[in-house]
A and B are shown apart, each in its own frame.
Chain A
Amino acid sequence: MDIFTLAIWVGTLIFLVVSFAKDKGKTKKALKMALGMGKGMVVSILSIIFAIGLILTILPPMEIANFVSKQNVVLATVVAALFGTITLVPAFIAFPLVGTLVGAGVGIVPAVSFLTTLTMVGVVTIPLEKKTFGTKFTVVRNGLSFIFAIVIALVMGVLI
């Protein structure tokens, strides 16, 4: 286990011990809630992971990197952002995935725009958002998120 994962485990375990000392009942409830959330999400997470495995075999990261590097940066960034909007992916899969892509040589700028829309904009959840907040709110929020995903990516390209 690397230092980052270790740090978050140690921090959480300390938090857990303190929480347990302060309120046993509530802490037990929180642990059960964590377990329930995990169980509820595990099937959809596994499906996403196996789909990613499939896509990365058909389209190896090296080839994606090779292809992206030949394109105009702005165009590549917009297309990457578009791919990210297809579905919402939980962040703890999104990070290793983007890590793989960057490691294979995909530029930081398209990678960041992909990462941001991957977690923030989801075509799949738009009907639900529309039902809750109405069409105008949904269009404005998703539209602005998309535009700013690209802006964040381009600014990061200048800074890093």
Chain B
Amino acid sequence: MKILKKLRENIFLAIVVFIYVVLLIVRPEMGIASIKSSGYYIKEMLMIMPVIFILTALLDLWIPKEKIMQFLGEDSGIKGIVLSFVLGSISAGPVYAAFPMCIMLKKKGASIRNVVIILSSWAVIKIPMLINEAKFLGPRFMAVRWVLSVIAIIIFSWIANKIVRDEDLPKEEIVEKGLYVNSDACMGCSQCVKCYPELFELKNKKAVGKSHQNPDMRKLRNAIEACPVKAISYKE
């Protein structure tokens, strides 16, 4: 059963491994060529990935997100746009990790325009990535693409704001009492476990809350604030 569960969780990896095994039996020379060309990307990844993760974690640590969040409302104007770009381009994690944080911002009054800017810049204009792009595609390519992407995002976030109304977004869900960890958003960074090991644990690389009685609110608040994707909520 356990093996079956692991297989389902890593279904994509399982399929890729399966194709490799078949290929190595049927056409060994093609299988070896595939492994060789994968090797190139693995080498590139190992050179850049550790430093990207460290840099994003450091940016996440030193830029006060909570302060930025106050300036993203309907009337925030240019300041709101600039701050949304900053927030999106320094944040850690893949774009789907941004969804819960953005819906939280929306509830706190951020405009749809600024939410679209955060999501888009989160995807395409990560600051630690710019150097990486310059390396593979040239500094000129990087600079032109960066400027064009910023212009495009400014234009289409304005259009999105015209089309989508606040009523189109899902109504506030009734959150159950107690502790809730959004597992779709959790990246398994284990910050919450470090803050409050009695209450949080990692299961299958995702944080879950253990059963508890009267949690220590100070430690819990620390954990909620430490979460880089704001996936933890608590309702008394």
Given contacts A52-B38, A88-B96, are A95 and B136 in contact (CB under 8 A)?
yes
Inter-chain contact A29/B226, CB cutoff 8 Å: yes
Contact count A vs B, C-beta below 8 Å: 244
Number of B residues, CB within 8 Å of A:
88
- Cα separation A11 to B48 with both chains bound (whole Å): 13
Q: Select B145's contact among A8, A40, A147, A152, beta carbons within 8 Å.
A: A152
Known contacts A53-B34, A54-B19; is A132 also within 8 Å of B55 by CB?
A: no
Measured CA separation A120–B96 after assembly (Å)? 10
Interface members, chain B 11-67 (any A CB < 8 Å):
12-13, 16-17, 19-20, 23, 30, 33-42, 44-45, 47-58, 60-62
Q: Which size class do A's interface residues fall under?
A: 35 or more
Chain B residues, CB < 8 A from A15:
55, 58
Q: Is B73 at the interface (CB under 8 A from chain A)?
A: no
Q: Write out the residue numbers on chain B whose beta carbons fall within 8 Å of the beta carbon of A16.
A: 54, 58
List 10 A–B pairs whose Cβ atoms lie within 8 Å, in order of A's numbering.
A4-B131, A8-B52, A37-B93, A53-B36, A54-B38, A92-B48, A99-B136, A141-B160, A147-B156, A160-B140
Please give the residue numbers on chain B whose beta carbons come within 8 Å of chain A beta carbons, in ascending order: 10, 12-13, 16-17, 19-20, 23, 30, 33-42, 44-45, 47-58, 60-62, 92-96, 99-100, 102-103, 112, 116, 119-120, 123-124, 126, 128-129, 131-137, 140-141, 144-145, 148-149, 152-153, 155-156, 159-160, 163-164, 168-170, 184, 187-191, 194, 205, 226, 228
